[in-house]
Chains A and B, each alone.
Chain A
Amino acid sequence: MTALVAIALTVVAVAGTAVVLADAPGRQAVTLSVFGMTLVVLFVILQAPDVALSELGVGTAVVPLMVMLTVRTMRKDRRQRGHREDE
Chain B
Amino acid sequence: MNRLGRLLLFALGGGVVSVLFVLATFDLPDFGSSIHLYRDLAVPAAVQHHTANVVSAVNFDQRAIDTFGEETILVASVVGAAALLRPSADESERRAPDLGRTLESTRLVGYVLMPVTLVLGVDVVLHGGITPGGGFQGGVVLATGLHLIYVTGTYPALERLRPVVPFEVAESLGAAGFALLGLLGIWTSGAFLGNFLPLGAFGQILSTGTVQVLSALVGLEVLGSMIVLLSSFFAQEISIRKAGADQ
- Taking beta carbons and an 8 Å cutoff, which residues of A are in contact with B? 1-2, 5, 49-50, 52-54, 57-58, 61-62, 65-66, 69-70, 72-73, 76-77, 80, 83-84
Contact = CB atoms under 8 A, between A and B. Distances in A.
B132 A50 contact: yes
A54 B137 contact: yes
A53 B230 contact: no
Contact of A53 (B32, B124, B226): B124
A61 B117 CA distance: 13
Interface stretch (B20-28, B167-175, B197-205, B231-239): B231-239
Contacts of B230: 62, 65-66
Contacts of B132: 49-50, 52-53
Contacts of A52: 132
Chain A binding site: helix, strand, loop or mixed by DSSP? helix
The 8 closest A-B pairs by CB, nearest first: A57-B140, A49-B132, A53-B137, A69-B233, A50-B55, A61-B144, A69-B237, A73-B237
Given A50-B132, A66-B230, A72 B140 contact: no
Contacts of B143: 57, 62
Nearest to B222: A57
Given A49-B132, A62-B226, A80 B140 contact: no
B233 A53 contact: no
A26 B160 CA distance: 28
A51 to B, nearest CB: 8
22 contacts: A1-B32, A50-B56, A50-B132, A50-B133, A52-B132, A53-B124, A53-B133, A53-B137, A53-B141, A58-B140, A62-B140, A62-B144, A62-B226, A65-B233, A69-B233, A69-B234, A70-B233, A72-B237, A73-B236, A80-B242, A83-B245, A84-B245
